Amino acid sequence: MHKNFLFSMLMLSMLAPSLGCGKSRTITTPDGGEVTVDKTGDEVEVAVTGPEGEKMTLKGSESGIPLPANFPKDVPIPSKAKPVSNATMGQVTTVALESTKPLAEIVTFYEVGLKKNGWKIEGSGNTPMGSFMGATKQKRSLNVMISKRDEVSVITLIMGQQ
């Protein structure tokens, strides 16, 4: 699936700009999988099916998209944070959000909010690029990465099963 992921990213970068609003295009990969790119407005969705039926989906929009339907209710989202992309592959879901709140405020929000919702923070740290923390709850894991891009805080949530 790793090759398909790279191939899908290549296809997205090549196909998405050429697709008009409300357009769809499917390409068969050299290994027999399929990559489908759908574009509606500024929203782009990519569905990758590997040759053995494995699936991955990617969705993104600068203006924002809804959280995935299966997004866990016990993972807090800062008020007014805008989901701009998500990806699902197997049991791993990644969601990227943008917020105008300061990075330090978002870090505190997750430290407090995760504990309040029963998550155990296993580790955290700061880098020159931002902050990160890892948490577990029952058999689930969550990685939170928070960075700054211009005047926007970017929050990346990676959720999976342990």
Q: What pLDDT is recorded for position 50?
A: 86
CA atoms in the 13 A half-sphere facing the CB of 39: 17
Q: Which helix (H) or strand (E) holds 127?
A: strand 120-127
Determine if the pTM surpasses 0.85. Answer: no
CA distance 30 to 12: 16
Half-sphere exposure of 111 (CA within 13 A, CB side): 11
Q: Which helix (H) or strand (E) holds 10?
A: helix 2-15
Q: What is the pLDDT of residue 22?
A: 63
pLDDT of residue 13: 45
DSSP 105: H
| All residues at 6 or more sequence positions from 10 whose CB lies less than 8 Å from its CB, including other chains | none
For 3, which DSSP code?
A: H
Quick check: 145 and 132 in contact, CB under 8 A?
yes
**List of the chain residues with pLDDT < 50:** 1-16, 19
CATH 3.40.1000.10 domain range(s) in the chain: 64-162
Domain 64-162 class, CATH top level: alpha beta
Give me the residue label for tokens 């998500």.
Answer: 86
Residue pLDDT, tens place only, 45-90: 989 898 888 899 999 999 999 999 889 999 999 999 999 999 999 8
